[in-house]
Amino acid sequence: MLPTELPPQRVWVFDFDGTLSFLVPDRNAAVLLPEAREVLSTLVRQPRQGVAVLSSRMLDDLITRIGIDGLYLGGGSGAEWFLPGGERRTAVRKTQRLESARKAVIPELEKLSDIQGVDLEDKKWSVAVHVRHVLSDDRTRVSEFLGALSRTAGIRLLRGPEVFEIQLLPEIDKLFGVMILCEILHFVPAPGSLVYAGDDENDALVMRWVLRKGGTALSVGRDPIIPGVAVLEHPAALVTEVRRLAGLNAGRQEDPR
């Protein structure tokens, strides 16, 4: 935001995969739900609203999947940001440690490639170990291997639907990303001023903080990630709830289906 602009009165932060898009077997096929595109585009046009999409995906990957002017886009769980005016910001003080961690950890993670069905996704600041196509017994092996690695290599292990997320720098998570966003926006959370939506353990770290600040946490999926969150079964249900929270339903015709 420009120095002369007032901070937003309300900030909305959304995870991407499983939150604004449905989870799909091929992660490269994930697309922004049309209804989500509509509500994001509407939110950014409202006065003094800060709207962000925050993902563990690489920033350039996220940018190509969103394509909405006025949004703040965070990649690498918020280690990298793309601002509405086109400016990029990176946690440059972390990059040297990141390279050291990558050299130590990536070769170890590559050992998992011997297990049938394991799919490693290198996202620069983290590595996702996808286990959607891994047999149950082998998933246990993967979990035990990663648990041991996290205890010896100084990394952080987070879990999501069908995936293990390795944070190569333990302090780089989505809570870190949200705090960076607040700094960028000169935004100090007050009760009722912050809304966060997500679907996995990385998102849960933010949700606890948001609830402590008196904000709203929206958990996408059948079961709540943590106590105290509103549960929306799927991304389309999330869109409906966001419209309600933002007061965007006035005069809107409901789909009779």
61 is catalytic: no
Which stretch of DSSP H or E encloses residue 82?
Answer: strand 80-82
Check: CB of residue 166 under 8 Å from CB of residue 126. Answer: yes
Question: Which position among 15, 17, 199, 203 bears the catalytic label?
Answer: 15
Closest CA to 53 of 27, 21, 23: 21
Closest CA to 82 of 74, 93, 92, 70: 74
Cα 79 from Cα 175, distance rounded (Å): 11
Cα 238 from chain centroid (whole Å): 15
The type of residue at 143 is S
Which residues are paired to 81 by β-bridges?
A: 74, 89
92-97-98-101 Cα dihedral, nearest 10 degrees: 180
Cα 201 from Cα 166, distance rounded (Å): 12
Cα 21 from Cα 35, distance rounded (Å): 10
**31-50 per-residue burial string, b: 16 or more CB within 10 A, e: under 16:** ebbebbbebbeebbeeeebb
Return phi, psi of residue 32, to 5°: -65, 125
47: left (phi over 0), alpha (psi -120 to 50) or beta: beta
Which amino acids are annotated catalytic? 15
